[in-house]
Every structure is written in structure tokens, then in C-alpha cells.
Structure 1
Amino acid sequence: MNLFQSIFRGGESRGRYPESLIEAAIERAVEGTDARLRLLPGYRKRLRAPVIHAIDQVVALVDAIPAPLMAGRREHGEDPRLAAVFSSAADMLGIFGRDPALTAFLATPEGAAAERVSGLLLAERVERNILGMDLVGDQVRRDVPQVAVSFTGHRLLDPRAGEVEMRRALERRAFDHLLALALNRIAEVRVEREDLIRQRDLLRRKRATLERGGWTFEEAQGAPPDPAALTADLDAITAQLAVLGADDGVLRAHLGIVADSLAEAERQFWAEELDLSLDAMNIRRDAGEPSARHIVLKELHNARGWRLVMLPLMITPAEIPPREDFVAAAERYL
């Protein structure tokens, strides 16, 4: 199974899945965590119900994402969500122009021909206690305690030419994120014997490799990976694990972790509604204040404690400024 291809084909309806999807998801759950689980008799039966439950949660999570919001220069001045998440229209378009996932997609034939691109924006919400100026009654006061809200680390996930394709990619990513969380739990299990320590280290390497391949919602580090190289790395890790082997008890413990993680998918990875009342400077205000803008966003959470604001966007590539050629710019000064 190619771990960098999607098991979702679109049109999945919660609770009604073709048998081919269920079987593919079971095999992906094994291949994405510890492929030696196939040595256990009955592993498919053990994973079937948890996998169906996880697919239910993934489909519901992605279905609940609102329709993409047009994100252009004009819309930034009209929609308070864009104004809150991006400091200015120029900043927003500049972020799009520097985004590696969007840049890579626009370099493909599909992306080059797209007049609109849908993608899921992720950003980290940061709140700081500050002392600022405020109007109290008819007097301006200084050093008033305030809470400033900002958004950092903007990045786009799964840009596609159409919303349906984007949602399908997000379903795959969300299911894989559950598997990455399960793999993380397996890798953290306390081990003492030398061969088990080697297994743990190999599983950690596998987790890092899958993260580089876009399996999670974590931010990628470094240059975009080569899928062929990632596949080769995974094959090498799987071969090394097979040589080490594993006793029946270890594999059953790993199978239990995978099954439990998928069976409690809604406690591993979920979205919550985020209500904010902010003024034009992104300062928190009481909902009834005249300067307050009511903003509703969705925030992703996972069992490891991170949270990221998500905002589905529709982007017009023609509005994105061209990326500066730093080599050419440097040569102008030589």
C-alpha cells in the first residue's frame, strides 16, 4: 500500500461505507503503525469496529468544516475573520505567496490551470496580557489591562482546484493523524529490553518519516520531501522491524493501542467552536461594546495538547504577488 495516497475517494456518507474502504482503512492502520500486526491472527476483526468508528469521526469532522471563504484583497476589508487572522490584505496575500504547499500546487498542471484554489488555513492563536490605552467614559486612560489576540504560523493544507477534492484530502489527513497519534503512543511505551528499545527507536523514526510525508496537521520542517525517498525510508524501517521480530505480547499490546486510539477518535482529535469579540486592533472586548466584532472560528485540538485555528479559504492565484527572486535581487547590488 502506498502510504502517501488517499484511501478516500469522495462521497463517503457517515455510517455507510463500501467494504473496500473499510478493508483499505484497516490495512492502512496496520501499515501506518506497526506492519508486524499482520502476524497476529484476527487483527482485521479486532480493528474493524474501531476503524469504522474512526472513519465516522473523520467524515463528521471534515463535513463540519464550513464552505471556503473567499480570501482576496477586497474580502479582507469586508470579513472580520480575515481581518482578525491577517493583519492586512497585503500581509495575507504575501503569506499565500510564500506558502510552500500552495506554491507546490500552483506548479502542477492542475494548479497552474486553476482560477480558484481551495485550502485549509491553520494558524496558532496567541493571547497576551498587555497595558494599553482605552476610552473610559469620555476620558482616554493609559496602562489599561487588555488582552491582545494575534495569529501566527499561518500555513495552508491540501490546496486543491475544487472544494470536494480539498475535503477528500483532509479526510485522508485526519485519519492519518489519528494513526500518527497511535504510533506516537506505541513509541512512548516504556521498554527495557535491548531489542524492544531498538523497536521503539525504529517506530519513532517511522513516525518522523510519516510526519515529513504530510501525515499529520503538524508543520513540516525543511524542504518538501520526495515521496519516493520517503517510501524507501519506510520500507527500510519495516524490514529492520521484521528482522528484529517481536513476541506475541508486544504485538498484542501494539494492536490494543491502535484499536483503542481509533475507538476513541473523538477524544484524540476534535474541533471546537471559538467565539471571539475583538476590536479593530484585535483587543478582546465585551460582546456588547460598540467596537466589538463578533467572530466565530473553529479550532482543532488533539490529545497531545496542541490547538490550531482553522479557516477554509478560496484563493485567487492571480491576486498573489510573485515571489521575489532573491538571487536576482542580490545580483542587482553586486
Structure 2
Amino acid sequence: MDDRTLDCEVDLQLERTAAHSRRTSVAEPRAAIAGSDRFQDDLATCSDEESLRRKLVSVRRRRLHCHRLLEQAEAQQNALDEQLLAVIRQRDETVLDYRSVRIAIATQQRQLQISRQWNVTNDTFHIWHSGPFVTINGLRLGAEAPSMEVGSSADTDRQPNGPIEQPRRYLGFGAQPAPSTVNPSSNSNEVRNQEGKNTIRIHWTEINSALGQVCLLLSTLEQKQCCGIRYRHEIVAQGSTSKIGIRSINNQHTAYYNLYSDDSFQLFGKRNFNTALQALVQCVVDAADAVQARDPTITLPHALEKTNTRSGDYVVGGLSVAYGTDGVEWTRAMKYLLTDIKQLMMFKPFGLRHARS
């Protein structure tokens, strides 16, 4: 190979090297620029992932918080449901109690309307009659009366050979016959008078017991505060041995007289007994004045008046209340007296009928 050929190859090689250098110098900046873009993309991608991770963590936290809030809300709802059920049960119980109270009130009002028709005093001290004799709680008050045939109009309450029947009152309503503890064979004597007629005489034990019941009745009426009854004399109710304390005019002294007697001989007769009996009638007059002052419609069927004599004895229905020789008249007088007392017991405050509407 000659030098010219060698020079051509060297020049060609140099040209090739220069071309390669030029190509290399142009390609390297392009490659560097492409690598930088990929790095920026990678950085952007990494930044998005971190942001997403942070968002994911935040979302998870929020979801956990929402779950907790939901659990709390469910717990509160359950508590409110229980409270609602408790309130409903309490309301139902209250409604039932209210209805039961209304029913009880209606029942008590009906019972009150019935009880207003009662007269306790009249039921406790039952004044009735047994033939010609007046009775109080089955005890006859009177001295004597002519005996009548069984079945007659004046002795319809007496059985032929048995105890006296007295009507039994139930709370002031109706009457049913019930045998009394008084037996004619033991507490009264049936004798013949001068005209040859049979006469029934009452023993003093029964008379004294009946007068004791009258004293207890009048004392009970005085104790009722709504009536304003005040007696001039003092009543000492002691059953068959009751007494009347007669007060002096200035109320400084009180003399007690026995409102009971017997068949024994007494020098001055029944003077002390009659004095006590007159004082008892005075107490009845005081009660009548107090009752009529409050209720003028109540009037006594048999007037109680004083005689114009020196003794000033009381008469009822024109008959003397003093015990004397005429037992039949005294029996009628006692019947009139207890009839007046029974009329006084019709005064409303003596029973339960004065209750408020």
C-alpha cells in the first residue's frame, strides 16, 4: 500500500471518528434530557403516592371515627328506646291507676249518697212501740196498760206466748221483725183490776233501764257540736241508775236526784223520782228549743208545757209526766214524750245527712 492510500484511509478513519464524536456529542445531551424527564415523572409519581397514602390514612381515621360515632349513636338510641319503653309502661300504669281511682271515687260517691240517708242516732236509739207501751231499744217505758187480745190492732207486735218483737232497722232503711230480750212473763205482771179486766204492769227494772237509755240519748245529742244544745240541768247517764243534777239559778250548786225507783215503800212517795223526771223533761224542752232555732220546720207532735200550779209540773199532750196513781195515763205520757224525742232526732245534723254535697 502506498502513502496516498494510507493517507486516505487515515482521513476516512478520522472523518468516521469525528462523525462519531459529533453523533455522540449530540446523543448524550438528549439522553440526559430524557433521563431527567423520567426522574421528574418518578418524583411526581412518588409525591402522588405519598399524598394518596396520607389521604388513605386520613380516610381510615375518619372511617374509624365514624364507626365510633355510629356505635355511640346506636348505644344512645338503645338507651332512648329503653327510656321510651319505661315511660310507656309508666304511662300505662298511671292510666290504670287513674281509672281505678276514678272508679273508686265513683263508688265512694255512691256510698256517700247512700250514707247521707242514714240517721245514726235514730238507728242507735231505736224508739218504737209494743202495743200500748213505747219502747227504746226494746225496753218498755210505762207503768201499766190494759191487756188486749192477741191479734188486735193495739197489740199487733206481741206474740201470744213468746218474747216481744221489735222491728229491726238496717242503717235506717226498712224494718224486719226481730225478737226482743224483753219477756212479758219476766218483766211485767198481768193482774186484774177492780173492773175485772186484765192489766199489764211493767217492773221497775225495765222502766229504770228505759229511762237510762233516754238519758244516754239526750246526753249524746248534747255532745254533738253542730247542734248547739245546752241543757239547764246535768244528765248523768248510768244505765238503770241514772241521775239528774238540778242546777241552782246561779249554777253554784247542783243537787242530784235519782231517775230510778222501785216498789219499796217511800214516805213521800215518788217525789224525788218525779223531780228528776221533771228535770229530764226540761232537758227535752231545751233540746227542742235549740233544734227549732236551727230548723223551724221541726215541730213536736205533742206540746210540752208547764202547768199553772205551784209545782209547775210539765205536761205532754195534756198529760202530766209525773208518776202518780194513774199508771195508764203515765204510760201514755211517756209514749208522747218519746215520740217528741224521736221527732227531734229527725234533725239533719243528728245523722250523716248533713254531709257536704
Which TM class, normalised by the smaller chain length? Answer: under 0.3
| Structure with larger Rg | 2
What TM-score comes out, normalization by structure 1 length? 0.25
Q: Which has the higher helix share?
A: 2
Higher relative contact order (CA 8 A, sep 6+): 1
Q: Which has the higher strand share?
A: 1
